[in-house]
Structure 1
């Protein structure tokens, strides 16, 4: 078997079921100011279409994008034509990337405008999941209007669930008390936010993992770093899905193969 579908996991109590690996799409829209160990060219449309088809064949149903990922949303919209219902799309609000720099806006007005723009770019009538792209001042961000606005957009049916991509334990815990999901850094190097995963498990909230492979920086002597990473990440019962940001078909296949090996060994 070479498909993740039997291992889909519930995103807390949202009713959404996600593949345990999601495809991150920053590399199809932005190659400036990114923290990868080596540079890369943006793939052309044909390459992205092939990558999406490969991901679907491997059982991946989660696509992670954001306004801060350059042209990612704008490119995905046309490329997903005719297959939108096969995907759970996660986008973000709060961070804009312009002229090589990020800026942040967590106001009610910007939050609504950002979601409506994402809907247009992605040529869709709903976003399954929208996360707040925190600037690192998590508790201050959550004091602003962004969460109440996302809650209103959820009631209007434009988004199905919302949550927070933060950088602190305190922010993650507060975000989960009020929202559906948190995106957390968790890998072999960095496990300081584990308390957020534990809280999510106890309270039936969703967890997405970012930097599961330490953005490609991981190296373990004599061991398979991808497998060891996924053993840690997918082995925590609070984790719904780990986002893997690759544009290389070989790497995508290897990551899914490693995940399947880990998941089958947990049965």
Structure 2
């Protein structure tokens, strides 16, 4: 087996019972090209290209896939694309944010949360979503305390429709509360922004899951000069014992292979 794969580097995501590859595949670019903050434009891949990308990800040892209702048609596309291979993937989706007519709107109510999860189950053609995160608008504490979204996700977990739940938030306070009352937090962590590190510290101490978004600063870090910015980013992330996996949203097969190679090299070196 090539050293440049992640097959033997999977790890538990906190105490969720899920085992994940240290890199996950983000799928914004499979479903949406409006209102996205990337340094360069892109074209949404067609089904053949998307299928090849997913096959390459699996070949490289990636088993984690991240989607959301706010990612345009990402969920609807993934259902058929993953058909026959559902068991090979740990699927993360979201609730709370809808993206319609080029605009985001947010609804964290119990009724919408349940509606959203059941719609995601249909779209993804599965009877259980591995992890559902609340797609925060930034008001993390108010959402968790006042909206009823977390109790609803806990009900859906008891019903077996989801395996674990948490928050994709923007604040340290929100991340800490999300972990105290749930299973996982998705935090921003990269060379430019480390303000949510206390959330990862809490997760490491309490056996909770951490996923990292914007690990490469939405691609902006790739514009840096000098050292390999991807490798430097992964050295920062995987040095932390709380980090389970970093979600990377590339649709470029060469970038995906390079990311996996860099992550595998960093993790193996850190283990020595």
In the aligned structure 2, how far is the partner of 1:15 from the partner of 1:81?
23
Alignment of 1:238 with 2:247, yes or no, is no
SS at match of 2:162: coil
CA displacement, residues 39-63 of structure 1 (integer Å, 9 cap, x when unaligned): 1111000000000000000000000
**Equivalent in the alignment of 1:9:** 11
* Structure 1 residues 208-227: Cα deviation after superposition (integer angstroms, max 9, x where no partner): 00000000111433100000
| Equivalence map 1:91-106=2 (5 Å) | 91-106=93-108
- Give 1:81 deviation, angstroms: 0.7
- Give 2:32's aligned residue: 30
For the pair 1:110 / 2:112, whether they are aligned, the reply is yes
Q: How does 1:91-170 map to 2 (within 5 A)?
A: 91-143=93-145, 144-170=147-173
Residue 43 (structure 1) aligned with residue 48 (structure 2):
no
Q: CA RMSD in A?
A: 0.6
CA shift, 1:7, in A, is 1.0
**Gap runs ≥5 in structure 2:** none
- Whether the 8 Å contact between 2:4 and 2:265 is mirrored in structure 1 is no
* Alignment correspondent of 2:263: 259
| Offset at residue 37 of structure 1 (A) | 0.7
Separation in 1, partners of 2:225, 2:16: 40
Secondary structure of residue in 2 paired with 1:135: coil
Q: Give the TM-score normalised by the residue count of structure 1.
A: 0.99
Per the TM alignment, residue 3 of structure 1 is displaced from its structure 2 partner at its CA by: 1.7
Moved over 2 A (4+): none
Residue 20 (structure 2) aligns with: 18
| Aligned length in residues | 267
* Equivalent position SS for 1:266: helix
Shift of 1:2: 2.5
In the superposition, the TM-score normalised over structure 2's length comes to 0.97
Which residue of 2 is the match for residue 228 of structure 1?
A: 232
Deviations 1:115-142 (CA, angstroms, capped at 9, x unpaired): 0000000000000000000000000000
